[in-house]
Amino acid sequence: MSEKLSGQEAPKINLNAPNSLSRALKPEYWSLDEASFEAPQANLEYADPSRFARNLHDMEPSEAGKFSLSYNRDHIDPRQQKLISVALTPGEYNLLLRSNNPKSIARVAMSRTIASKPIFDVDKRNEDARRSGVHALENKLHVMETYKEETIDNDLRIINRMIEASKYPGLSRGKETTMRTDLSWIMDHVLENMFDALKYQKNWSKEQLDLAKTTTYRRMFFERAKNQHIGYFKELMQVNRAYTLRKKALINDRGSSIRRELDKLNG
C-alpha cells in the first residue's frame, strides 16, 4: 500500500484516542489519493471476493494451479478420499510437507546417515539412521506448527476482529493504535498473501495483479455510497477467514501424517 500514498502530509495521530472501523476505512486516514486507485468499471471482477474464494480454497486438485496442495477433507474417516486443494504462496508451499506421506523426508535423512556410516556395525548404523529420520520429521513438524501458531492463528484473530468490527463499523474498537495495527496487518500481510497466491492460481501478469490490487482497494476505501465499502470489506474478510481456516486444516492434516510416521519410527 505504501506506493499508493498521496505524498500529502499525514494527519496528526493520537494513539490513545478511541477508534472505529468506519474511521479507519476513510481514505484520508491513510493519506490515500483517489486518483491512484482509478479502475475501469468493467474490471471490477478483479476484486470480486466470490471469485477470489473459488481460486483460493475448496478447489478440485485437477483445477488447482501452481503452489497449491491438497488434503483429505474427511478427517473422521481417512479412507474416504475427499481431496480439496488450497492455494498457497511460494513461501508457504516450501514450508509445508508437499504430500500427506512423510516417509520421503525420513528416507532421505536415513539414507544420508547410512551412506556416511561404516558397514561393520550394522545395528548402530540402522539406529543412527532411524534417529536421523525422526529428527528430520520432528524439525518439519516444528516448522509447520510454529507457522500455524505464530502466523495462521494470528491472522485468524485479526480477521475475526475485523469481521466483528464491520457489523457495527461506528462502534469504538479500542485505542487508535489497535485498529491501525490490525488494519495495517490486514493490508500488508493478509491481503498481500492472498494476492500472491491468486497470482499463481490465475497466472496473472504484473498488470493484472496490479489491477486486482488497485480495484480491491478502490472498493474498500472509495465506494462509499450507502456504506458499500464496509459491506465489501466484510465480504473480503469472510473470504479470507474461510481461506485461512483451510490453510490451518491443511497444516493439521500434514501434521497428523508426520505424527503417525513418528509413531512408527519410535515404535
Domain boundaries, the chain: 2-7+16-266
User: According to the model, what pLDDT value does residue 92 have?
Assistant: 96
Give the pLDDT confidence of 6-41 residue by residue, as tens digits: 444 555 666 677 889 999 999 999 999 999 888 776
Give the pLDDT confidence of 137-171 residue by residue, as tens digits: 999 999 999 999 999 999 999 999 999 999 999 99
* Residue 109 pLDDT greater than 90, yes or no: no
Of the candidates 116, 115, 110, which has an alpha carbon nearest to the alpha carbon of residue 129? Answer: 110
Tell me the pLDDT band of 4, cut-offs 50, 70 and 90: low
Task: Determine the average pLDDT of the residues in 204-227.
Answer: 93
User: According to the model, what pLDDT value does residue 45 have?
Assistant: 73
Task: Determine the average pLDDT of the residues in 65-71.
Answer: 91
Tell me the pLDDT band of 105, cut-offs 50, 70 and 90: confident
User: According to the model, what pLDDT value does residue 129 have?
Assistant: 83
Contact present, 251 and 151 (Cβ < 8 Å): no
The beta-carbon contacts of 193-199 under 8 Å, at least 24 apart in sequence, are: 193/89, 193/92, 194/52, 194/56, 194/240, 194/243, 196/89, 196/90, 197/56, 197/67, 197/87, 197/88, 197/89, 198/52, 198/55, 198/56, 198/87
- Considering the chain, what is the average pLDDT of its residues? 87
Entry pTM: 0.88
Task: Determine the average pLDDT of the residues in 73-96.
Answer: 81
Residue in this structure with the C-alpha cell 465499502, named with its chain if needed? 229
Tell me the pLDDT band of 111, cut-offs 50, 70 and 90: confident
* Residue 2 pLDDT greater than 50, yes or no: no
Q: What gap in Å lies between CA 209 and CA 111, rounded to an integer?
A: 43
Tell me the pLDDT band of 78, cut-offs 50, 70 and 90: low
Q: What are the distances in angstroms from CA 226 to CA 19, 115, 169, 203, 231?
A: 21, 69, 13, 35, 9
* Residue 233 pLDDT greater than 60, yes or no: yes
Residue in this structure with the C-alpha cell 532411524, named with its chain if needed? 130
